[in-house]
Chain A
């Protein structure tokens, strides 16, 4: 007794004569044995382990890379009006940062990566604070401290100095 497992039994007849010489049993091919499924789960487990190890390894290597902290001029920062912000890169071109001039005229700079999941934070002029759009975290513009939301720690702080009327980045500290 043959069991028709799908409604595609007419596919072979409808397609091509070569299938008579090379029959393709669609219904049988669709069956997955327990052993095959077990092996598939084993491969999945290996892939998940490799993924976790690879991601952790890369993060650890990146964390150990010592980056020398140059003194860098932040271009056009002098023209920044109070209660506004400017994006720049420090200490390398890959490290985006944000310079804020608060309403009282003081300059503050932070690494732009949110300490929750590395989304870029932006300066909200209306609220006068740094906000992360991904998970609704917020940071104090003057200190970088967490105001609310999921971020576990303050933003990385970039030291800024005013020299001859120009704004310079001189160092970076973890939050």
Chain B
């Protein structure tokens, strides 16, 4: 695969950051909805909300662990540019 340019790598990093921030905002909303539902006694919606938050967390982990610029090579001592 052709190595991505420095500008391209920066764009990928930027995209990762934007996605992570958006997911964090969504999780914040889910937490607020969970508190709302719990205090109002709407117990039926609690499980779907927790699952949604878990899915968001899983996506966050996948972005951090696996979505990396393709030109970065992994060595025994870590990633190099």
Contacts and interface: CB of A to CB of B under 8 A. Distances in A.
Given A37-B17, A41-B17, A52 B27 contact: yes
Interface size class of A (residues with CB under 8 A): 20 to 34
A45 B25 CA distance: 9
Interface of B: 13, 16-17, 20-21, 23-24, 27-28, 30-31, 34-43, 46-47, 49-50, 53-54, 56-57, 60-61, 63-64
Contacts, number: 91
Main secondary structure of the interface of B (DSSP, over half): helix
Given A42-B20, A45-B23, A45-B57, A53 B64 contact: no
B29 to A, nearest CB: 10
B35 A55 contact: yes
B72 to A, nearest CB: 11
Nearest to B31: A52
B40 A52 contact: no
Main secondary structure of the interface of A (DSSP, over half): helix
A118 interface: yes
B31 A41 contact: no
